Structure 1
Amino acid sequence: MGDIRQVPVTELPDDFTDQVDRVLLDVRERDEWAAGHVRGALHIPLGEVPARIDEIDLDADLLVMCHSSGRSMRLLQYLDQMGFEGSCVRGGILAWIENGKPVEAGGLG
Protein backbone atom coordinates (compact mmCIF):
# COMPACT_ATOMS: atom_id res chain seq x y z
CA MET A 1 0.00 0.00 0.00
CA GLY A 2 3.00 2.27 0.26
CA ASP A 3 3.06 3.08 -3.45
CA ILE A 4 -0.50 4.40 -3.60
CA ARG A 5 -0.51 8.19 -3.55
CA GLN A 6 -2.28 9.80 -0.60
CA VAL A 7 -3.61 13.33 -0.79
CA PRO A 8 -4.32 15.39 2.34
CA VAL A 9 -7.79 16.92 2.54
CA THR A 10 -6.19 20.35 2.87
CA GLU A 11 -5.10 20.11 -0.79
CA LEU A 12 -8.65 19.48 -2.05
CA PRO A 13 -11.49 21.85 -2.89
CA ASP A 14 -14.50 21.95 -0.55
CA ASP A 15 -16.88 21.18 -3.42
CA PHE A 16 -16.36 18.83 -6.38
CA THR A 17 -19.49 19.89 -8.28
CA ASP A 18 -17.60 21.89 -10.92
CA GLN A 19 -14.46 19.74 -11.05
CA VAL A 20 -14.05 18.73 -14.69
CA ASP A 21 -10.83 16.71 -14.61
CA ARG A 22 -11.18 15.29 -11.09
CA VAL A 23 -13.54 12.75 -9.58
CA LEU A 24 -13.99 12.30 -5.85
CA LEU A 25 -15.32 8.76 -5.42
CA ASP A 26 -16.87 8.04 -2.02
CA VAL A 27 -16.98 4.27 -1.41
CA ARG A 28 -18.74 4.32 1.97
CA GLU A 29 -22.08 2.62 2.58
CA ARG A 30 -25.38 4.43 1.96
CA ASP A 31 -26.01 5.22 5.64
CA GLU A 32 -22.52 6.71 5.96
CA TRP A 33 -23.11 8.82 2.83
CA ALA A 34 -26.46 10.06 4.14
CA ALA A 35 -24.84 11.08 7.45
CA GLY A 36 -22.44 13.43 5.64
CA HIS A 37 -20.57 13.64 2.35
CA VAL A 38 -18.60 16.04 0.18
CA ARG A 39 -20.68 18.08 -2.24
CA GLY A 40 -20.18 16.89 -5.80
CA ALA A 41 -18.68 13.53 -4.88
CA LEU A 42 -19.65 10.37 -6.77
CA HIS A 43 -21.05 7.75 -4.42
CA ILE A 44 -20.60 4.05 -5.17
CA PRO A 45 -20.35 1.73 -2.15
CA LEU A 46 -17.17 -0.37 -2.28
CA GLY A 47 -18.99 -3.66 -2.86
CA GLU A 48 -20.80 -2.22 -5.89
CA VAL A 49 -17.75 -0.77 -7.66
CA PRO A 50 -16.96 -3.81 -9.87
CA ALA A 51 -20.52 -3.85 -11.25
CA ARG A 52 -20.64 -0.06 -11.63
CA ILE A 53 -17.07 0.59 -12.82
CA ASP A 54 -18.40 2.18 -16.04
CA GLU A 55 -19.87 5.04 -13.96
CA ILE A 56 -16.36 6.15 -12.96
CA ASP A 57 -14.32 8.33 -15.31
CA LEU A 58 -11.05 6.43 -15.02
CA ASP A 59 -9.32 8.96 -17.29
CA ALA A 60 -9.91 11.74 -14.77
CA ASP A 61 -7.76 12.43 -11.71
CA LEU A 62 -9.43 9.89 -9.41
CA LEU A 63 -9.53 10.58 -5.69
CA VAL A 64 -11.06 7.88 -3.47
CA MET A 65 -12.56 8.55 -0.06
CA CYS A 66 -14.04 6.33 2.63
CA HIS A 67 -14.38 6.66 6.42
CA SER A 68 -10.69 6.64 7.33
CA SER A 69 -8.74 5.28 4.28
CA GLY A 70 -8.92 1.46 4.57
CA ARG A 71 -11.58 0.84 1.92
CA SER A 72 -10.06 3.50 -0.33
CA MET A 73 -6.71 1.73 -0.28
CA ARG A 74 -8.34 -1.63 -1.05
CA LEU A 75 -10.17 -0.16 -4.04
CA LEU A 76 -7.04 1.56 -5.32
CA GLN A 77 -5.13 -1.73 -5.13
CA TYR A 78 -7.92 -3.37 -7.14
CA LEU A 79 -7.86 -0.58 -9.74
CA ASP A 80 -4.06 -0.76 -9.91
CA GLN A 81 -4.34 -4.45 -10.85
CA MET A 82 -6.64 -3.38 -13.69
CA GLY A 83 -4.11 -0.80 -14.88
CA PHE A 84 -5.78 2.33 -13.46
CA GLU A 85 -4.34 4.88 -11.07
CA GLY A 86 -5.88 6.96 -8.37
CA SER A 87 -5.14 8.63 -5.07
CA CYS A 88 -6.42 8.01 -1.57
CA VAL A 89 -7.88 10.92 0.37
CA ARG A 90 -5.73 10.52 3.48
CA GLY A 91 -7.83 10.03 6.59
CA GLY A 92 -11.12 9.90 4.67
CA ILE A 93 -14.22 11.73 5.80
CA LEU A 94 -12.87 11.77 9.37
CA ALA A 95 -9.94 13.95 8.29
CA TRP A 96 -12.27 16.02 6.11
CA ILE A 97 -14.47 16.86 9.11
CA GLU A 98 -11.52 17.30 11.50
CA ASN A 99 -10.15 19.95 9.14
CA GLY A 100 -13.44 21.86 9.22
CA LYS A 101 -14.33 21.16 5.61
CA PRO A 102 -18.05 21.27 4.77
CA VAL A 103 -20.27 18.20 4.42
CA GLU A 104 -23.80 17.74 3.15
CA ALA A 105 -26.21 15.36 4.85
CA GLY A 106 -28.97 13.32 3.27
CA GLY A 107 -29.44 11.95 -0.19
CA LEU A 108 -29.21 8.39 -1.44
CA GLY A 109 -25.97 8.85 -3.34
Structure 2
Amino acid sequence: MGDIRQVPVTELPDDFTDEVDRVLLDVREDDEWAAGHVRGAVHIPLGDVPARIDEIDLDADLLVVCHSSGRSMRVLQYLAQLGYEGSCVRGGMLAWVENEKPVEAGSAGSK
Protein backbone atom coordinates (compact mmCIF):
# COMPACT_ATOMS: atom_id res chain seq x y z
CA MET A 1 0.00 0.00 0.00
CA GLY A 2 2.99 2.28 0.44
CA ASP A 3 3.41 2.90 -3.29
CA ILE A 4 -0.13 4.20 -3.88
CA ARG A 5 -0.16 7.99 -3.99
CA GLN A 6 -2.42 9.73 -1.49
CA VAL A 7 -3.81 13.21 -2.13
CA PRO A 8 -5.09 15.44 0.69
CA VAL A 9 -8.63 16.80 0.24
CA THR A 10 -7.23 20.32 0.53
CA GLU A 11 -5.57 19.86 -2.88
CA LEU A 12 -8.84 18.92 -4.61
CA PRO A 13 -11.62 21.06 -6.09
CA ASP A 14 -14.95 21.20 -4.27
CA ASP A 15 -16.80 20.10 -7.42
CA PHE A 16 -15.68 17.62 -10.11
CA THR A 17 -18.51 18.42 -12.55
CA ASP A 18 -16.31 20.42 -14.93
CA GLU A 19 -13.11 18.42 -14.45
CA VAL A 20 -12.09 17.09 -17.85
CA ASP A 21 -8.84 15.30 -17.12
CA ARG A 22 -9.63 14.10 -13.60
CA VAL A 23 -12.17 11.62 -12.31
CA LEU A 24 -13.23 11.26 -8.70
CA LEU A 25 -14.45 7.69 -8.21
CA ASP A 26 -16.56 7.15 -5.08
CA VAL A 27 -16.56 3.45 -4.14
CA ARG A 28 -18.86 3.66 -1.12
CA GLU A 29 -22.19 1.86 -0.86
CA ASP A 30 -25.45 3.40 -2.16
CA ASP A 31 -26.63 4.53 1.28
CA GLU A 32 -23.31 6.26 1.99
CA TRP A 33 -23.43 8.01 -1.40
CA ALA A 34 -27.02 9.17 -0.80
CA ALA A 35 -26.06 10.57 2.63
CA GLY A 36 -23.47 12.88 1.05
CA HIS A 37 -21.01 12.86 -1.84
CA VAL A 38 -18.78 15.17 -3.84
CA ARG A 39 -20.57 16.89 -6.69
CA GLY A 40 -19.46 15.49 -10.04
CA ALA A 41 -18.04 12.26 -8.62
CA VAL A 42 -18.63 8.92 -10.35
CA HIS A 43 -20.30 6.40 -8.05
CA ILE A 44 -19.47 2.73 -8.41
CA PRO A 45 -19.59 0.70 -5.18
CA LEU A 46 -16.44 -1.32 -4.44
CA GLY A 47 -18.02 -4.69 -5.22
CA ASP A 48 -19.25 -3.47 -8.62
CA VAL A 49 -15.92 -2.06 -9.86
CA PRO A 50 -14.72 -5.20 -11.74
CA ALA A 51 -18.03 -5.54 -13.62
CA ARG A 52 -18.31 -1.81 -14.33
CA ILE A 53 -14.66 -0.97 -15.03
CA ASP A 54 -15.58 0.21 -18.54
CA GLU A 55 -17.48 3.12 -16.91
CA ILE A 56 -14.23 4.50 -15.46
CA ASP A 57 -12.06 6.74 -17.63
CA LEU A 58 -8.75 5.04 -16.88
CA ASP A 59 -6.88 7.53 -19.09
CA ALA A 60 -7.86 10.39 -16.79
CA ASP A 61 -6.12 11.31 -13.55
CA LEU A 62 -8.05 8.91 -11.31
CA LEU A 63 -8.77 9.79 -7.70
CA VAL A 64 -10.60 7.25 -5.53
CA VAL A 65 -12.59 8.13 -2.40
CA CYS A 66 -14.47 6.06 0.18
CA HIS A 67 -15.36 6.62 3.84
CA SER A 68 -11.85 6.69 5.31
CA SER A 69 -9.44 5.31 2.62
CA GLY A 70 -9.57 1.52 3.16
CA ARG A 71 -11.81 0.65 0.22
CA SER A 72 -10.08 3.22 -1.96
CA MET A 73 -6.76 1.47 -1.39
CA ARG A 74 -8.32 -1.90 -2.26
CA VAL A 75 -9.69 -0.56 -5.56
CA LEU A 76 -6.35 1.06 -6.39
CA GLN A 77 -4.49 -2.19 -5.65
CA TYR A 78 -6.91 -4.01 -7.94
CA LEU A 79 -6.43 -1.43 -10.71
CA ALA A 80 -2.64 -1.61 -10.28
CA GLN A 81 -2.82 -5.35 -10.99
CA LEU A 82 -4.52 -4.45 -14.26
CA GLY A 83 -1.80 -1.92 -15.08
CA TYR A 84 -3.66 1.28 -14.14
CA GLU A 85 -2.62 3.97 -11.70
CA GLY A 86 -4.62 6.24 -9.49
CA SER A 87 -4.50 8.16 -6.24
CA CYS A 88 -6.30 7.71 -2.96
CA VAL A 89 -8.10 10.67 -1.40
CA ARG A 90 -6.36 10.65 1.99
CA GLY A 91 -8.84 10.26 4.84
CA GLY A 92 -11.78 9.79 2.45
CA MET A 93 -15.10 11.50 3.01
CA LEU A 94 -14.32 11.81 6.72
CA ALA A 95 -11.47 14.17 5.82
CA TRP A 96 -13.61 15.89 3.17
CA VAL A 97 -16.31 16.78 5.73
CA GLU A 98 -13.74 17.57 8.44
CA ASN A 99 -12.22 20.16 6.08
CA GLU A 100 -15.71 21.64 5.56
CA LYS A 101 -15.78 20.89 1.85
CA PRO A 102 -19.28 20.81 0.32
CA VAL A 103 -21.29 17.61 -0.06
CA GLU A 104 -24.38 16.89 -2.09
CA ALA A 105 -27.05 14.54 -0.72
CA GLY A 106 -29.34 12.20 -2.62
CA SER A 107 -28.78 9.78 -5.46
CA ALA A 108 -28.65 12.37 -8.28
CA GLY A 109 -25.51 12.09 -10.32
CA SER A 110 -24.92 8.48 -9.34
CA LYS A 111 -23.78 6.36 -12.23
- Cα distance, 1:107 vs. partner? 1.0
The Cα offsets for residues 65-101 of structure 1, whole Å up to 9 and x where unpaired, read as 0000000000000000000000000000000000000
One-letter code aligned to 2:104: E
Q: Give TM-score scaled by structure 1 length.
A: 0.99
| Count of residue correspondences | 109
Per the alignment, residue 19 of structure 1 pairs with 19
Spell out structure 1 runs of 4+ moving beyond 2 A: none
Greater helix fraction, Structure 1 or Structure 2: 1
Q: Is 2:29 the counterpart of 1:29?
A: yes
Q: Is 2:50 the counterpart of 1:50?
A: yes
The Cα offsets for residues 28-87 of structure 1, whole Å up to 9 and x where unpaired, read as 000000000000000000000000000000000000000000000000000000000000
Q: Percent identity?
A: 86
Cα distance in 2 for residues equivalent to 1:107 and 1:65: 17
Q: Which consecutive unaligned segments of at least 5 residues does structure 2 have?
A: none
Per the alignment, residue 59 of structure 2 pairs with 59
Q: Which consecutive unaligned segments of at least 5 residues does structure 1 have?
A: none
Cα distance in 1 for residues equivalent to 2:102 and 2:61: 21
Q: Give TM-score scaled by structure 2 length.
A: 0.97
Cα distance in 1 for residues equivalent to 2:106 and 2:57: 24
Cα distance in 1 for residues equivalent to 2:49 and 2:75: 8
